[in-house]
Amino acid sequence: MTDLVIRPLHVGTVGRDKAIFTYLRNMGERIEVPVLAWYVEGNGRRILVDTGGHDPSEIQLHAPYRRTPAQDPVAALASFGVAPEQIDTIILTHLHWDHASNTYRFPKARVLVQREELRYAAAPLPPHRWAYRAHPPLSSHWDRYEAIDGDQEVAEGVSVHLTPGHTPGLQGVAVRTASRVYYIASDNVPLAEMWHALKQYGASHWPGSIHVDLEAYVKSLNRIEELGDVILASHEASVLDQSEYR
């Protein structure tokens, strides 16, 4: 039995054409979505899944993107009484700017990344370079990253799962609480409607537009069915309707 709890953190907001999230659908429809990170606590551990984007007041990258002072990831954690140095592990689902820009602010944490994601981030295909532009640059964190190869349990009740799709090295995170298994799907499932997609899209699950291998992406979506009882989408505003998941 575990006593883990997940707390979603709203760490910014981006505006995008919805078709970026929904492959070949909803072109021309503009939406605003939250940038999310996840604080997992319990069993003597303090784990942060993703770290959000850069401070938009410091540099103009990836506009339109905004973040209030309260949405700074350090401030968001402070609202739970957690200081940056108390985070013992960071799990980066992938290395896009809105998921991996604040590693340097958590000085004592192990930083876990899939080896395949590190490989691709070092030399992404030209259409994907923009997503790996971060501030500070990702290269300034290379010595912090601990490479993982495939699925692995990283703490009691917390495991990572290599599910290529949105990026070649994306890893989701399964958290086994006392009541169920929650699966943080990251950008393989950015919006909840893409997971429950049959009525709207004609398939059980619908991929996003940003990907390298569509066949691998669809296989990963099918695999995710077995990895969690509740799937938590990465840019879904409704996940913030609950302050915690147990």
Residue 197 domain-assigned (yes or no):
yes
What average pLDDT does the chain have?
A: 97
Taking the C-alpha atoms of residue 21 and residue 73, their distance in angstroms, rounded to an integer, is: 23
What are 20-50's pLDDT values in tens digits?
A: 999 999 999 999 999 999 999 999 999 999 9
For residue 245, give the DSSP letter: B
Instruction: Give percent of the chain with pLDDT exceeding 90.
Output: 95
* pLDDT surpassing 80 at residue 130: yes
Cβ atoms 2, 238 nearer than 8 A = no
> Is 154 part of any domain?
yes
Range of the domain at 55: 5-241
β-bridge mates for residue 14, sequence order: 33, 65
Overall average pLDDT of the 72-83 stretch: 97
Residue 52 maps to which CATH number? 3.60.15.10
Domain membership of residue 133 (yes or no) is yes
Residue 44 lies in a domain: yes
Judge whether 246 lies within some domain.
no
Is residue 180 situated within a structural domain?
Answer: yes
- The alpha carbon of residue 184 and the mean position of all alpha carbons in its chain are separated, in whole angstroms, by 7
Within a domain: 46:
yes
Copy the structure tokens of residue 9. Answer: 């953190």
Largest CA distance in the chain: 47
Residue 50 domain-assigned (yes or no): yes
Number of domains in the chain: 1
Summarize pLDDT for 189-245 with one digit per residue, the tens. 999 999 999 999 999 999 999 999 999 999 999 999 999 999 999 999 999 999 999
